[in-house]
A and B are shown apart, each in its own frame.
Chain A
Amino acid sequence: MTGYRVMDGGAGPQAVGIESQLKVQDLNARYVETIDEGRFEDWPDLFMEHCKYRITTAENVEQGLPLSIIYATSRAMLRDRVKALREANVYEAQRYRHVLGPSRLEPAEGGSVGARTNFMVARVMHTGDTALFATGRYLDRVVLAGGAALFAEKTVILDSRQIDTLLAIPL
């Protein structure tokens, strides 16, 4: 529930400015483009050095259970994940196509912005087999500083508890 708590912590009646909204939207657009185009090496750079990235299921969140499918607490851990994908792990060639819904934004702690965004991801195998692979929502906390927007936290909450075969490429 970390994502909720973080965002609700600083939430007030004030709205997030239009410029910030565009930056957050742009960050998520670049995020999915980086993954969908297979530029995994660029993916950690969208996060702060000290960040939190995790993938979990709605079932775990609803039960208040902390387990993640992927859990990283720094940009270095994200880079390790990419290195493992490139050099160590064995999986059939595949790519994703993300489709995002509109983000709902609210002010969060320390002047950061909380964002909730629905997503759907199709997985396209090298054989051509294409299937709906995952649906869910992103609970993000984005820090806007010096013109750049970076994820301080990104929690990917999958609607389903079932993963088909494996989840190699991050969502």
Chain B
Amino acid sequence: MNIHERSWPTEGLTRIPYWIYADRELYAEEQARIFRGDAWTFLCLEAELPRPETFRTSNLGDMPVVVTRDRDGKIHAFENRCAHRGSLLCLKQRGEAREIVCVYHNWTYDLAGKLTGVAFRRGVGGKGGMPADCKPDQHGPRQLRVEVLAGLVFATAGQKAPPIEQYLGPEIVTKIRRVMKAPVKLLGGYSQILPGNWKLYMENVKDSYHASLLHMFFTTFRLNRLSQRGGLVVSEDGGNHISYSMSADVAGKEYEQAGMRTAQSGYSLEAPELLQNVDEFGDGVGIQILSVFPGFVLQQIRNSLAVRRVVPRSLERTELVWTCFGYADDDDAMTELRLRQANLIGPSGFISMEDGAATGFVQRGIRGADDEESVVEMGGSGTSSEESRVSEAAVRGFWKAYRRHMDM
């Protein structure tokens, strides 16, 4: 179906039509207009390219990408596709390389992704080879614009994308710098395969309303109750957000009085060292979740720091790539604290294991609801920042940015 035959509900951003998660042609259109369009995509931490002449592979949506650090330390990103027959150039997740050599026919590239050699270009013994006027480099892998912000490597294929800081907006940049305040040390990573459309996960991240309702661990330990002080910041263009809450406890009984499932049991930990933490940012903010359109999340949950990359794999399948880190100057005790708090996050995370499944619950729930729509009216109809997190303003912001990129 042509996406222009579909029309957005007349109510605007407070209604999300369910076909938006279930249309194959729309999926392809998103790849072209968003991921290979004018959006900025997070590729990796700069620390994942620890030395000159290293590479790692990543994605711009569906499109495979190589990220390199050249001999002079400069970071490049380009499509992971050979100019010749389209084979992947880099087969590994990461490694060291002085040049990139395609395994198929040995065509070679420098670390900026420029074609430098065609095997047997002039043939062998005066026979065979390529005509002198053939210009294979015109079919070379797509070069991406790269910007590194506070140790985060972003790239875009679009010509019209504004510089990264402008794309993010000043508040987002400040809060990125807050977490990326010092050189980082990698602690490790893993991937979660989510049984839902990529947009469902991004909505989940931006949905500050669900956090303490779905995740009981949060609520019962007062890690995050909506009655705790905090706020929601949505960038001017809607696409980027920050949700934060102070770690100070609030003795409110709002959840118990409202009879919420998540507040019903008197739950206590036998080993409370799981929750030991230090206020390393000195501002009392216990949780800061930051997202950037289309698929980047920067997480500070107490001392658990991570970046998450949302990679669409197909219409109903999304890979969530987690990379956890600390700072280069962390001592062993601090590293141990971060490793212990990593129990809160990821596919087994006490406060995050439900998120992946929730995208699947929606994807399965809407199978017969192509002509229906969801109601996103918590906090009204706007997309502006607010003090209350009982709001879906950031979710509406996502759709504001989405519709602009999709011209929908």
Contacts and interface: CB of A to CB of B under 8 A. Distances in A.
Contact of A163 (B342, B347, B360): B347
B267 A83 contact: yes
Interface in B342-364: 342-343, 346-348, 350, 353-354, 356-357, 360
Contact of B217 (A56, A67, A84): A84
Contacts of B93: 59
B350 A89 contact: yes
Interface in A124-171: 161-168
Contact of B354 (A68, A83, A87, A90): A90
A71 B324 CA distance: 14
A169 to B, nearest CB: 9
Interface in B278-302: none
B125 interface: no
A90 B190 contact: no
A120 B339 CA distance: 26
A56 B339 CA distance: 12
Interface string B137-162: 00000000000000000000000000
B356 A161 contact: no
B216 A88 contact: yes
Given A89-B353, A92-B357, A67 B267 contact: no
B270 A80 contact: yes
A70 B348 contact: yes
B193 A163 contact: yes
B354 A76 contact: no
A88 B220 contact: yes
Contact of B195 (A69, A90, A165): A165
Contacts, number: 117
Interface string B164-193: 000000000000000000000011111111
Contacts of B217: 84, 88-89
B353 A76 contact: no
B274 interface: yes
Given A77-B274, A91-B353, A168-B353, A163 B190 contact: yes
B258 interface: no
Measured as residues with beta carbon below 8 angstroms from the partner, the interface class of chain A is: 35 or more
Interface in A25-53: none
A167 B347 contact: yes
B58 interface: no
Nearest to B266: A87
B348 A69 contact: yes
Interface string A63-88: 10111111111101101100110011
A65 B187 contact: yes
Given A65-B188, A161-B191, A166-B357, A90 B342 contact: no
B310 to A, nearest CB: 14
A76 to B, nearest CB: 4
B335 A60 contact: no
B343 A161 contact: no
A60 B220 CA distance: 32
Nearest to B358: A90
Nearest to B261: A90
Contacts of B216: 87-90
Interface string B354-383: 101100100000000000000000000000
Interface-centre pick from A67, A89, A168 (highest chain B CB count, 10 A): A67
Contact of B269 (A80, A92, A161, A167): A80
Given A67-B339, A80-B270, A89-B217, A165 B350 contact: no
A66 B265 CA distance: 34
A6 interface: no
Contact of B265 (A56, A59, A80, A87): A87
A112 interface: no
B270 A65 contact: no
B187 A66 contact: yes
B405 interface: no
Given A91-B357, A162-B193, A70 B343 contact: yes
Interface in B204-262: 214, 216-217, 220
Contacts of B270: 76-77, 79-80, 83
A18 B147 CA distance: 61
B51 to A, nearest CB: 14
Contact of B190 (A66, A89, A161): A161
B319 interface: yes
Interface of B: 93, 186-195, 214, 216-217, 220, 265, 267, 269-271, 273-274, 319, 324, 335, 339-340, 342-343, 346-348, 350, 353-354, 356-357, 360
Interface of A: 55-57, 59-60, 63, 65-74, 76-77, 79-80, 83-84, 87-92, 161-168
Q: Which 5 A-B pairs have the closest CB atoms?
A: A67-B188, A65-B188, A76-B270, A76-B271, A163-B347
27 contacts: A56-B188, A59-B190, A65-B187, A65-B188, A67-B187, A68-B343, A69-B347, A71-B343, A80-B270, A80-B274, A87-B267, A88-B217, A88-B220, A89-B354, A90-B354, A161-B189, A161-B190, A162-B192, A163-B192, A163-B347, A164-B195, A165-B192, A165-B356, A166-B347, A166-B354, A166-B356, A168-B353
